[in-house]
Amino acid sequence: MNFLAPWALLLSVAAAVPLLLHLLRRRSGERVDFPALRYLLRAEREHAREVRLRNLLLLLVRIALVLAIAVALARPIGPLPGVGHPPSAVAIVLDNSASSAAVVGGSTLLELHRRAARAVLAAARDADELTLVTIDGALRAGSREALLAAVDSLQRIDGAGDATAALRRADAALAASALPERRLVIFADGQPSTWGDVRGDSLAAVRLLFLPDGQRPANRALLAVAVEPPYWSPRGTLRVEWQGDSAAWRVALAGATVARGRANNAAPIVTSVQPALRGWVGGSIEIDADEYRSDDVRHFAVYVGDAPALYADAGSPFLREAAATLIASGRARAGSAVGLLPAQRARTSALLFAPSDPLQVAAANRALALAGVPWRFGARRSGPAPLRGDGLDGATVQQWYALESIAAQDVDTLASVAGQPWAVAGDGYVLVASAPDAEATDLPLRAAFVPWIERVVGERLGQANGRVDARAAGQGVRVPRGAESLEAPDGSLQRLDGRTQIDAPATAGSYFWRRGAERIGALVVNPEAAESALSPMDADSLQAALGAERRLDAGDALARATFAAGGRRALDTPLLILALALLLAESWLARRGRT
């Protein structure tokens, strides 16, 4: 038996009061015989046994009365047949991921979760402690009415969420409760992208799993959108991966349709677009709607403007060839706005490389100082060592210089080698720690070299001066340097207040980083492609992985299982009823004794 207020058991010492009074009454004073009262003594002797029995019963009833009140105030929980349940701590983990929009039996999985969660909350009592945690990690605690309203207003997120983090938050809320009865109720859609790697071994509470049964619908889905090139000047191409047999599609930029067509046999959708708009633009591609709407629209963002005016140092064949390739493909134009240069010719708006000749390091450092670049080349290092970051994984560096910062400025490390910065970016410059030749690094020999230069020029040095971050809902994203707010698709602004990292919004769409009124990059939120594979996990495997005591697919049965405690009930009410009965018995016995 458990007690919710064990301190109240201290009141049971008051049971000694009736016993002391009973013992004191047994003490008699000096005995004096009066002849006239002899007949009364004879009557008393005839009824002595009855009186002693009545007094003993009265003593026991009074002691039991005090003990019943004390134990009732301690709020015990123990086995008792009947209705009701002991005060319980219940945490609900509700899956509102993108895949919960799938329709099963005429209702979305999210609506089935809502109905079952309402049934559980409706069965709760005022003494229960209730917590609701959604798959994006949001936690709500409060009264039954408050959580019912939260469930009714709950919307799906455009992503898989983090089931492991949600379970941990719910388990922590239960661990903080003083109530001995604890239940963790998990509402899952069984989607492998959300639940495939989740384990419940570390969860302490009893777990119940709600997993709706039913056939998932066939799904036609947009899986990925590639913008080629990443910056349009001003024409570009969209390449879309999708699944399905046949569907009409439509491309929109800033809400206006710019292309449409029909796709068959899941062949990639490829279309060219030349928008009249300039600057950072949000767009979407949409296919015919089916029963699962989460992946029928996919968003993208692109910067539309003039191609960067590019030139390269004549003494570096690799840089000269890269610039010529970009100009010939129309992704750059000949000009003097952005340079591909060795550091000894440092200037602003330039991609700068370490000198090939070590004797030029001093001259390079002087040129960096004159250009206002807050970095210097330090000791020379030798490899081979792999490059890490910025899409350069797999490339190898043979020779590089340690990059030494001389000022506490806000910079980005684009790539690293041996745990040290290899490429850093700041206002108007990108500095690379190796020379652009095959002796220093094999990057110029790789196919990724020219696309990397194109991306660096576009993101850091060109007119766009920003990048596109692609995330699913709730995933962390680094805030670009100088960004003051995040512009939502509806035009509203979220102040960033100096934060360096935020979670991606829960709703899919094209968002823009802003510095004042200027857009300086984009954040595109789409569901993970894995959310479009609607075939659920094996129910027995998911139940075993979560360590769930029971698996149910009906809300009323789930509510009964949530608050069932093996016949255990709150015993304070029966004990108070018993105390009332004992009080009535004590009054009757006392009145009979006086008679």
Give residue-wise pLDDT tens across range 350-406.
999 999 999 999 999 999 999 999 999 999 999 899 999 878 888 999 999 999 988
Q: What is the mean pLDDT of the chain?
A: 86
Phi and psi angles of residue 487, each rounded to the nearest 5 degrees, phi first: -90, 125
| pLDDT > 80? residue 261 | yes
| pLDDT > 90? residue 519 | yes
- Whether the upstream peptide bond of residue 229 has omega within 30° of 0, thus cis, is yes
The pLDDT, as a whole number, for residue 17 is 64
Pairing of strands 256-264, 236-243: unpaired
Confidence of residue 595 (pLDDT cuts 50, 70, 90): low
The two three-digit tokens of residue 155, written as one number: 């919307």
| pLDDT > 90? residue 85 | no
Which run of H or E residues covers position 228? strand 221-228
Region 407-424 average pLDDT: 85
The pLDDT, as a whole number, for residue 82 is 45
What is the residue type of 26? R
Q: Can you give the pTM of this predicted structure?
A: 0.73
The pLDDT, as a whole number, for residue 75 is 63
Out of 72-81, 145-154, 228-237, 538-547, which region has the weakest mean confidence (pLDDT)? Answer: 72-81
Confidence of residue 184 (pLDDT cuts 50, 70, 90): very high
The pLDDT, as a whole number, for residue 245 is 86
Q: Which of 183, 266, 283, 162 is nearest to 219 (CA)?
A: 266
| pLDDT tens column, 33-52 | 656 555 655 665 556 666 66
Left if phi > 0, otherwise alpha if psi is -120 to 50, otherwise beta: which for 556?
Answer: alpha
The pLDDT, as a whole number, for residue 14 is 63
| pLDDT tens column, 432-489 | 999 999 999 999 999 999 999 998 998 888 777 788 999 999 899 999 888 999 999 9
The pLDDT, as a whole number, for residue 567 is 46
102-106's contacts with Cβ under 8 Å and 24+ in sequence apart are: 102/189, 102/216, 102/217, 102/219, 102/291, 102/292, 102/534, 103/217, 103/291, 103/292, 104/212, 104/214, 104/215, 104/216, 104/217, 105/212, 105/214
**What's the CA gap between 346 and 351, in Å, rounded?**
9
Region 236-254 average pLDDT: 92
Region 409-427 average pLDDT: 87
| pLDDT tens column, 309-330 | 999 998 899 999 999 999 998 8
Region 209-227 average pLDDT: 90
The pLDDT, as a whole number, for residue 265 is 82
The pLDDT, as a whole number, for residue 570 is 60
| pLDDT tens column, 548-572 | 988 998 989 999 888 875 445 566 6
| pLDDT > 60? residue 336 | yes
CB atoms within 10 A of CB 17: 12
| pLDDT > 90? residue 26 | no
Left if phi > 0, otherwise alpha if psi is -120 to 50, otherwise beta: which for 390?
Answer: left
Cβ-contact 547, 200 below 8 angstroms: yes
